[in-house]
Amino acid sequence: MLITYFCKKGGVGKTTILGEHADYLASLGKKVLIVSIDDQNSIFEMFGKSSEVFNREDNYIEHLLTESISIDEALIEMRPNIDGIKTLNIDMLSKKLTLERAFEKQFVNLIEEFKSRYDYVFVDLPPSSNRTSEIILELCNHIILIVELNKLGVNGFYNTLQYFVDSGIELDKIRYVLPNGFSKMKSVPSVALEEIVTITKDNLQNAIVLKPIPEKSNIQTLQQKGIVIFDEDVTSLNYYQKNQKKLLIEVFTELFKSIKL
């Protein structure tokens, strides 16, 4: 099964939540692959694997597509039951996919091979428009749109839907809309949430608006330490961080249980 979290606006938390969702499923014993279609390969940082992105120059997804290495040689172990694959240059990859039909077929076949090997394949996409993202979105079984709960976030939601229409990607592929950054103490998120519910109802008849995620700045502290919230090892955390981690586990467990894959 191929899954992505997506939004045309950057900084909405899609990489973070995608990584946590992958880790949650792995903690349940599922075999998970994370494909990073992003030059920054930031998904590796949250798992504390940044150094492994640069320790080899011959194990990017581009090397898989030239068949110079095998899938097993390209894998980076993120956690038990989770592997990752990195991308070297998204612009060059997209250009080649645009110009060469045979290469596009090869790319699609590679994604299908990933799906045959793993229970779940998550693809971390950049917010920019490119042919690689379009192909992934077309292939996805589940697309979860993340929307930031402010005016810019709502505009980003509109832009994302328009991008789907302009690119010929079926809106029915969007199964869930996830509002991010809710706060009972602020009026802006509540107003934005009402708009998101209305937009979803008017444009995405098959999509479900999930329970909003509250503002949680502490998750960034964990990521800086290379810890995802479902990690069992908490020896590097102080008392306050351990308590915050427990609260985050509750929030994300409820979220991921509500997403039926």
Identify the bridge partners of residue 60 per DSSP, sorted by sequence position: 86
In this prediction, residue 221 carries a pLDDT of 73
Q: Span 152-162, mean pLDDT? A: 95
Model pLDDT for residues 26-44, shown as the tens digit of each residue: 999 999 999 999 888 999 9
In this prediction, residues 182-207 reach a mean pLDDT of: 89
Give the confidence band of 218 by pLDDT, cuts at 50, 70, 90.
low
CATH number of the domain located at residue range(s) 2-258 in this protein: 3.40.50.300
What are all long-range contacts of 254-258, with beta carbons under 8 Å and residues at least 24 apart? 254/211, 255/17, 255/178, 255/210, 255/211, 255/213, 256/20, 256/21, 256/24, 256/25, 258/210, 258/211
**Residue 205: its pLDDT value, please?**
87
CB atoms within 10 A of CB 258: 12
**DSSP readout, 158-195?**
HHHHHHHHHHT--GGGEEEEEEEEE-TT-HHHHHHHHH
* CB-neighbour burial class of residue 105 (10 A; exposed 0-12, middle 13-18, buried 19+): exposed
Task: Return the percentage of the chain with pLDDT > 90, whole number.
Answer: 75
Token pair in block for residue 235: 């020896």
Q: Comparing 214 with 177, which gets the higher pLDDT?
A: 177
Mean pLDDT for the stretch of residues 196-209: 95
Question: In this structure, are strands 174-182 and 208-209 parallel, antiparallel, or unpaired?
Answer: parallel
Instruction: Identify the pLDDT of residue 216.
Output: 59
Taking all residues of the chain, what is their mean pLDDT, rounded to a whole number?
Answer: 92
Task: Tell me which of 97 and 237 has the higher pLDDT.
Answer: 97
132 in Cβ contact with 167 (< 8 Å): no
pTM of the model as a whole:
0.94
Q: For 111-148, how does the pLDDT look when each residue is reduced to its tens digit (9 = 90+)?
A: 999 999 999 999 999 998 899 999 999 999 999 999 99
Mean pLDDT of the 211-225 span = 75
Q: What is the pLDDT of residue 193?
A: 94
H/E stretch holding 59? none
User: Residue 134 belongs to what H/E stretch?
Assistant: helix 131-139
Is pLDDT larger for residue 222 or for residue 49? 49
CA–CA gap between residue 72 and residue 16 (Å, rounded): 25
Torsional class of 8: left (φ above 0), alpha (ψ -120 to 50), beta (otherwise): alpha
Looking at this protein, which amino acid is placed at residue 258? Answer: S
CA distance 126 to 129: 8
The better pLDDT of the pair 236, 31 is held by 31
Is residue 217 over pLDDT 60?
no
Q: What percent of the chain has pLDDT over 70?
A: 98
Q: Report whether pLDDT(183) > 80.
A: no
Q: Which of 177, 180, 197, 198 is nearest to 189 (CA)?
A: 180
The whole-angstrom separation of Cα 205 and Cα 174 is: 10
In tens, the pLDDT along 78-96 reads 999 999 999 999 999 999 9
Using the predicted structure, report yes or no on whether residue 215 has a pLDDT greater than 70. Answer: no
pLDDT attached to residue 95: 94
Given a contact cutoff of 8 angstroms between Cβ atoms, the answer to whether 17 and 4 are in contact is no
